[in-house]
Amino acid sequence: MQLKKYTDYALRVLIFTGTKDVNKLATIKEIAETFSISENHIGKVVFELKKMGYLETVRGRNGGIRLATPPEEMNVGKIVRQFENDFILLECFDQSTNQCVITPACQLKHALNEAIQAFLQVLDKYTVKDLIANNARLKDLMGIE
């Protein structure tokens, strides 16, 4: 299973903004440069995170973004579910396009569904605060002063 780049970028944006000092704003440009991702992609992710209530934006010359809620209140499992709008691993997961003849008797879809649920249950145990627990090391790696 592979998460979409969009989900990956969303988690990176939250990690980056979460490591910034409370009184300092992050910018789309510095996030994009840090991770070598286009500003356009990061801008779209920031827009979604703002819409979902994870980020707040400050307009103006000295504007930027910061976490809208404390990192300990941001559940990683919930964030992944919001960004991964489907977990269609096999054809049979989508009844509208399923053409597999063994679907009625196949146990694979049940096993994979159980695995997805276990994956999400593990992520539910973590918050963004857990992801930035090694704040000093992350700041060093991302070049944040």
What is the pLDDT, as a whole number, of residue 62? 87
What is the pLDDT, as a whole number, of residue 130? 98
What is the pLDDT, as a whole number, of residue 82? 96
Name all domains of the chain by residue range, CATH numbers in brackets: 5-85+128-142 (1.10.10.10)
Token pair 């969009």 is found at 6
Structure tokens at 73: 């209140």
Q: Which residues of the chain have pLDDT under 50?
A: none
CB distance 10 to 16 below 8 Å? no
